[in-house]
């Protein structure tokens, strides 16, 4: 049995059983009237419930292969991801009163079904890679709260709550993967981690482009007409989300990388009270 490696010994992964007023997502372009930013976040949410179920399965099946404190962190990870699944299902149900979400749902189910045909270790490696993606997107969202200016308060809290918990558990899948692969040569461990991230990047990028375009078309917007706006939003202009996260993404490929080499808990400390929704349970 192998314990977690470089995760801080005093880390707290705190499941928060919050409920949010997701019906506010029914409005047209809830993110500051921006159709592209709204479609991107809606498409992202559309993939979360089925994806997070897969993450839970991929990590929890190895809980007997690790010791404490990692085993306890797995339990907290499962509780956090289960709550994320529930709240994004509610968010997606609100979206479904405005959009036909079936295309996103079918494409996500097909990807998840394919993932479940892969070896368990491969599913775990993919989960660790996607958890890194969500963690660096979460860090960026909390570092740049202005990106959510103009959004309804309940939805800002939903996305910030999700971001906080993604950062808290960002190394759980990684540490489980490291424990399970501990007997493999270092080069083989690095290659598996790197190849998994490269493949996940292609799949994730393709899914987000297709799903965002789907929602834009339903708003009567031809996706090709948004190419300039997309380049500005994601790369060259403001906010330049993908440009901002690129250094953190590339760090994954560095030999010896660990998610907690960037200890961003201080970022979380000042926003805990701001997360509590009116309907907290």
In SS3 terms, 230-263 reads as HHHHHHHCCCCHHHHHHHHHHHCCCCCCCHHHCC
For residue 111, the model assigns a pLDDT of: 95
For residue 281, the model assigns a pLDDT of: 42
Say what percent of the chain tops pLDDT 70.
96
Say what percent of the chain tops pLDDT 90.
79
pLDDT tens for 38-85 read 999 999 999 999 999 999 999 999 999 999 999 999 999 999 999 999
pLDDT band at 277 (very low <50, low <70, confident <90, very high): low
Whether residue 3 has pLDDT greater than 60: no
49 prior amide bond cis, ω within 30:
no
For residue 4, the model assigns a pLDDT of: 43
C-alpha pair distances (Å), 119 with each of 58, 113, 122, 124: 10, 13, 5, 9
**What angle, rounded to 10 degrees, do the helices at 70-95 and 35-60 form?**
140
Residue 226 neighbours by CB under 8 Å, 6+ apart:
35, 36, 216
pLDDT tens for 254-271 read 999 999 999 999 888 878
pLDDT tens for 165-203 read 999 999 999 999 999 999 999 999 999 999 999 999 999
| CATH architecture for residues 22-274 | Orthogonal Bundle (1.10)
Average pLDDT over all residues of the chain: 91
- Cβ-contact 31, 150 below 8 angstroms: yes
Residue 163's CB: how many other CB atoms inside 10 A?
Answer: 23
Tell me the average pLDDT across 225-235. 86
pLDDT tens for 129-152 read 999 999 999 999 999 999 999 999
pLDDT band at 226 (very low <50, low <70, confident <90, very high): confident
- What is the torsion angle, in degrees rounded to the nearest 10, for the CA atoms of residue 179, residue 182, residue 188 and residue 191? 20
For residue 178, the number of C-alpha atoms closer than 13 Å in the C-beta half-sphere is 18
What is the C-alpha separation between 264 and 254, in angstroms, rounded?
19
Tell me the average pLDDT across 151-155. 91
Which stretches does DSSP call E strand in the chain? none
Residue 213 neighbours by CB under 8 Å, 6+ apart:
223
Whether residue 240 has pLDDT greater than 90: no
pLDDT band at 1 (very low <50, low <70, confident <90, very high): very low
- Higher pLDDT residue, 277 or 145? 145
Tell me the average pLDDT across 21-35. 84
For residue 270, the model assigns a pLDDT of: 77
**What angle, rounded to 10 degrees, do the helices at 70-95 and 172-180 form?**
130
Whether residue 5 has pLDDT greater than 90: no
For residue 230, the model assigns a pLDDT of: 87
For residue 22, the model assigns a pLDDT of: 77
For residue 2, the model assigns a pLDDT of: 38
pLDDT band at 278 (very low <50, low <70, confident <90, very high): low
Domain range summary for the chain, segments of one domain joined by +? 22-274
């Amino acid at each position: 049995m192998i314990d977690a490696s470089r995760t801080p010994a005093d880390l707290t992964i705190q499941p928060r059983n919050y409920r949010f007023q997701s019906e506010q997502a029914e409005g047209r372009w809830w993110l500051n009237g921006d159709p592209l930013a709204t479609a991107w976040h809606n498409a992202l949410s559309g993939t979360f419930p089925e994806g997070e179920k897969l993450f839970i399965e991929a990590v929890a099946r190895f809980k007997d292969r690790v010791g404490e404190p990692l085993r306890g962190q797995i339990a907290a990870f499962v509780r956090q991801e289960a709550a994320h699944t529930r709240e994004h299902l509610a968010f997606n149900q609100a979206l479904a009163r405005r959009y036909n979400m079936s295309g996103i749902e079918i494409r996500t189910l097909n990807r998840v079904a394919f993932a479940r045909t892969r070896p368990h270790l491969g599913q775990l490696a993919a989960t660790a890679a996607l958890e890194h993606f969500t963690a660096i997107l979460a860090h960026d969202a909390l570092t740049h709260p202005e990106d959510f200016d103009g959004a309804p308060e309940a939805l800002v809290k939903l996305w910030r709550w999700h971001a906080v918990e993604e950062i808290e558990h960002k190394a759980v899948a990684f540490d489980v993967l490291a424990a399970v692969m501990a007997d493999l040569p270092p080069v083989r461990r690095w290659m598996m981690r790197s190849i998994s991230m490269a493949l996940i990047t292609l799949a994730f990028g393709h899914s987000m482009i297709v799903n965002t375009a789907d929602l834009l078309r339903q708003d009567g917007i031809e996706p090709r007409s948004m190419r300039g706006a997309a380049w500005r939003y994601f790369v060259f202009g403001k906010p330049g989300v993908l440009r901002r996260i690129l250094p953190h993404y590339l760090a994954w490929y560095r030999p010896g990388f660990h998610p907690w080499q960037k200890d961003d808990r201080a970022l979380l400390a000042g926003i805990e009270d701001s997360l509590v929704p009116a309907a907290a349970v």
